[in-house]
Amino acid sequence: MAEMKGSKTEKDLKEAFAGESQANRTYLAFAQKADQEGFTQAAKLFRAAAAAETIHAHAHLRALGGIRSTKENLKEAIGGETHEFMEMYPGMIKDAQAEGFEVALKSFTFANAVEKVHAKLYQQALDNLGSNEIVDYYVCKVCGNTLEGEPDGPCTVCGAVKNAFFKVD
């Protein structure tokens, strides 16, 4: 079998994975809006298409060899989250400030803060891998802040009220 590294097919798989992943998130946002507007059937179709896009994205990621052992996947996640809060978001925050785009600035700032939390949580999971300790995670609907255990007050990232958090199953 030919080596995929550096091939046009590898580039195509990465592009397809990104496109399918973005379509999934976009269609879920569209479904939420359709639900808010009372268009239940359109919302259901958006969610069905989003599920299909996830299947496509996962197939492309598998073809790339991008899913490995849990230990390796945790290390990959730590690296990705660290890159986002150390390198990616700081520049985006600076650009949004300079250009005066307050909504984007808020979005980037919240994401940057939460990526630090994710890196820490992934490191804890890696350190505790195999301990079989089960903890519940809660996510803030406003900024994405992620907590181990129930929140005991407002969100420490965006200040949202305690009931803005939802439990992830």
Per-residue pLDDT of the chain (169 residues; tens, 9 = 90+): 578 999 999 999 999 999 999 999 999 999 999 999 999 999 999 999 999 999 999 999 999 999 999 999 999 999 999 999 999 999 999 999 999 999 999 999 999 999 999 999 999 999 999 998 899 999 999 999 999 999 999 999 999 999 999 999 9
Instruction: Give the closest residue to 94 by CA, choosing from 104, 82, 81, 83.
Output: 104
For domain 134-169, give the fold.
Rubrerythrin, domain 2 (2.20.28)
Asked: is 8-63 a CATH 3.40.50.620 domain? The reply is no
For the domain spanning 69-133, the CATH number is 1.20.1260.10
**Which uninterrupted H or E stretch holds 143?**
none
Write out 82-121 in H/E/C secondary structure: HHHHHHHHHHHHHHHHHHCCHHHHHHHHHHHHHHHHHHHH
Number of C-alpha atoms within 13 angstroms, CB side, residue 104?
13
Each domain of the chain, given as residue ranges in start order, spans 8-63, 69-133, 134-169
